[in-house]
Structure formats: structure tokens, C-alpha cells
Amino acid sequence: MNVPRSAPPNLSAVQHSLGEPLMPTFRWLAAKEFRELLSSRAYWLLLLMIAPLVGHSFITAVDTYAEASGIGGGPAALSQGLSPLDGILVPTFGAYDLAATLLFPFVAIRLVASERASGAAKLMQQSPAGAPAMLAAKAVVLLVAWAIAWLPGLAGLLLWKLYGGALFPPEVLNLLCGHLLRVVVASGISVAAGAMANSAASAAIATLGFTVGAWALEFIAAGRGGLLQKLAGYTPNAALRVFEQGEFRLSTVLATFATGIVGFALAGIWLRAGRAWRVRTIATVAVIVAFALLLLGASRLRASWDLSENRRNSFSAADERTLTRIAQPLRITVYLSPEDPRLADLDRNILAKLQRALPQVDILYAARSRAGLFEAPGDHYGEVWYEIGGRKGMTRSTTEPIVLDNLYQLAGLPSPTRDGSEFPGHPLRATANGAAWIFYAVFPLATALAGWLHLRNRR
């Protein structure tokens, strides 16, 4: 007797009948977070404001670059000083630094604060996906949101090429990498604040407090050397300046990326429902200690690459070959105050390059006052002492050949023959034709229309 086989049960129907939700996948979580993002008025306001900000920076940069190239009939600047990185790229994308500091945190905070306020965060944590998948989906969506906001900036690069401007791909990609890491930090700090604070307003204040604290750390550590200055070098603004100078520094990349990851880790700790306050505090301290150890390890990494077209972060090839023959540690004692402009020239033109070229460089800032106005005559103010293998030499110059020749003499090495080749520069007498229409009309109107249609359909 043949018994008819019953059809296999429908898993979805069984789960639905039992009241158990389907296991959410990462794709489903990302789609849900993206819908939340597009329902945020803060994000549409960001998109509405970013185009005029970028447009103003771009148009001003093009006009200034053209004037420096002699478009008005006046004397043109030296062509070696006309670099698109400084003249166009950094000013144009500087608007994104402002947006990442003051606008984007509100977008990131809302993705967390709204779920906490509605209780959806507790429900989502009970799903098999868990908090890590939820936070990973938020991170991916925030990066996608920032990539969309990059459209005006990328349009500026396209316009610059259409005007006949030059772009050096390595330094362009390096700058974009720096701004991407900048928003990773902003996302991590904002999400952590949204998870730890009681409200979105408190989270916004906490995020702003972190920004102000980073600025204060940079100001206090200026010219002091030691651990404090190393920590200040990993603040968001200081890290971005490394990329704006055309340098890809491994320690900065790791420290900056780790800052964003730590923010998401702290958010995961404080979003976990049912945990006691003491347990969360202990876990937070453990994450911060691990982060501090990671920063300490990253600070010891010396790998870096000069991706600028004009090799601004490097000595000449002949000098770098000679410097590799110096195996002993170099100790530098600087008697210049932080507010002395000569110290800025020395740091940029000499000290930073020596730290890249030599295996061990120890710098001591020995000035006793911030302005140098109250230094006694016997305090050696203005002197810079170099020591290699017990031999010392002093110079007051911040000129590269003079300082290097002094180092070669201390190390017992002959000065190399410098070829004198220079960056040719890229002068361009162009006007920003059509840019105002694109940045002040096309982008804002398209954004306003898209936002109005989307938000109206959700009602």
C-alpha cells in the first residue's frame, strides 16, 4: 500500500507560526540601515550643504591658482611652487574636513540614538545576528553615505582636468585615503557617543567635546616633543595634514583606523542590553588600555612613502643615499620656541625628513618660553645642536644643504654631488567656467528634489 508522502514543511511558515523571526542577514541589516539613513533629514541637509561648501572652495582655489600663474597680466609665481595638491586638491577637499567635524556626526549619531530611543536596539540584539553585525552594517552604510557626499568633490577634480589642469594619481589617491580615514574616526566617535549618552543632544555635545579636546592637545603639545607630541600627531586634524602633504605614513594609518574601530567597539559594549554598569565600565577600560598599547606600537613604525609629485617629504636622491650610511643615532636639541616661525620651517624642511631617512632620531625642544622673548643671552636661543656618535655641531640655519653638510661632517662622510633637479610645477591660467552653476544650482536642486520625493513617499 502506497502511503502518500507529505510535502516538506515551509521553513518560513513554520518559523512564522512559532513566532520566531527569520535570521537576519548582513545584507538585510545593511538595507535596513540604508533606509534609516535616507529617512534622516540630517543626511539630506548634509548633502544639500556640502556642494556649495565644496564649490566655494574649488572656485576660490582655481581663481587663486590662476592669479599665481599670471592670468591677470602680473608677475607669475615660480612654477616650482605651483602644485595642484596645494593649490586645488587640499583647498577643495578641505570642505569635507569641516563637514566631517561639524555635520557628519549628527548623521552617525542618529543611526544609534533613534534605535535606542524607540527600543529597536534591544529587539535587534535579540536576533541571531547580534550587535557586531548591526554595528558592521552601520559602518558600511556610513561609508556609503560619505562616498555619495564625495560626488561634488569628484566633480571638482573632473572640472580641473577639463580646464587643462594636471593631477598626479598617487597624491590624489593618498589625499582621498586621508579623508576616508578622517570620516572613519568621526563615525567611530559619533557612534560611541550615541551609544553611551542618554540622548542625541548629549551625544552631539560629547562628540564636540572630543573635537575640542583634540584641538587642545595639538595646541599644548606644539613644540614640546616627547610622548605628548606623538599623541598629538594622531589627532584627526594632525593625521589629515600628513596626507595633505603627500605622505602615506603607516603609523598614522593604523592609529587613525584603530580609533574608528575602538569607537564601534565601545558602542557594542554600551548597546548590549542587560549588562551591569560595572561590567560595561570594566570592558570600556580594557578596550581603552588595548587601544593605548596599539598606539604605542604604531608609534614605533617608521614605514612611510612620499607620494607627492614634487618629493616635498624627501631629500634629494643623492642626499638620501648618503644618509643611509649613517648608522649611529642622531640627537637634535632645538632652542626655538613653539611660536617662532623658524621652528615651523625646521620641522617641515629638516626634522620630518630626517625622521624618515634615518633609523633613530631623538629630538629635544629645549626653549624655556613659548615666544622666545624671555630667553637669557646664555640660553643658546636660536641654536640647533646635532650630535652623532659623541660629536656635536651647531647651526642656526634651517636651510637643507647647510644642515645636511653639517651632519655629513659629524658622521665623517663626504657631501654628495646634488643634481639640482627641481619639480617643474604646473602653472595654469584657467577660470572656473560653469563651476558656479554646477555647485550652487545643479547639485543643491537635485539633492533637494531627491530628498523631497523620498521623504514625501515615506509619509
pLDDT at 146: 94
* pLDDT higher than 60, residue 13: no
- Mean pLDDT value across residues 277-281: 84
Beta-carbon count within 10 A of 374 CB? 11
Place 5 in a pLDDT band, splitting at 50, 70 and 90. very low
- Mean pLDDT value across residues 379-387: 84
pLDDT at 15: 38
- For residue 305, give the nearest of 314, 294, 296 by alpha carbon: 314
Grid look-up 613604525 returns: 301
Place 364 in a pLDDT band, splitting at 50, 70 and 90. confident
* pLDDT higher than 50, residue 112: yes
At 314, give phi and psi (nearest 5°). -135, 155
Reduce the secondary structure of 208-268 to three states and give it as a string: HHHHHHHHHHHHHHCCCCHHHHHHHCCCHHHHHHHHHCCEEEHHHHHHHHHHHHHHHHHHH
Residue 308's contacts (CB-CB under 8 Å, 6 or more residues apart) are 83, 85, 168, 171, 245, 246, 247
Q: How, if at all, do strands 384-388 and 391-395 pair? A: antiparallel
Length of the chain: 459
- The answer to whether the CB of 372 falls within 8 A of the CB of 336 is yes
Which amino acid type is present at position 110?
R
Each residue's pLDDT tens digit, 192-243: 888 888 788 888 888 888 888 888 888 777 656 556 777 777 888 889 999 9
Q: How far apart are CA 51 and CA 96, in angstroms?
A: 10
* pLDDT higher than 50, residue 11: no
Name the residue with higher pLDDT: 99 or 25.
99
Task: Provide the strand spans (E) within 307-379.
Answer: 330-334, 361-365
- The answer to whether the CB of 170 falls within 8 A of the CB of 307 is yes
What is the chain's Cα-based Rg? 27
Residue 44's contacts (CB-CB under 8 Å, 6 or more residues apart) are 447, 451, 455
* pLDDT higher than 60, residue 370: no
Each residue's pLDDT tens digit, 14-53: 334 333 443 457 788 888 888 888 888 889 999 999 999 9
Place 356 in a pLDDT band, splitting at 50, 70 and 90. confident
pLDDT at 16: 40
Q: Provide the 8-state DSSP code for 378.
A: G
pLDDT at 129: 60
Burial of 423 (0-12, 13-18, 19+ CB in 10 A): middle
Cell, residue 152:
561634488
Largest Cα–Cα separation, the chain = 115
- The answer to whether the CB of 426 falls within 8 A of the CB of 165 is yes
Lowest mean pLDDT among 99-108, 232-241, 274-283, 435-444: 274-283
* pTM metric for this prediction: 0.83
Average pLDDT score, the chain: 82
Cell, residue 223:
613644540
Name the residue with higher pLDDT: 249 or 119.
249
pLDDT at 12: 41
Q: How far apart are CA 79 and CA 86, in angstroms?
A: 13
Burial of 162 (0-12, 13-18, 19+ CB in 10 A): exposed
pLDDT at 301: 82
Place 6 in a pLDDT band, splitting at 50, 70 and 90. very low
Name the residue with higher pLDDT: 218 or 410.
410
Domains in the chain, start-ordered, CATH in brackets?
24-307 (no CATH), 317-411 (3.40.30.10)
Q: How many CA atoms lie within 13 A of 7 on its CB side?
A: 3
Place 276 in a pLDDT band, splitting at 50, 70 and 90. confident
pLDDT at 225: 55
Residue 9's contacts (CB-CB under 8 Å, 6 or more residues apart) are none
Q: How, if at all, do strands 330-334 and 361-365 pair? A: parallel
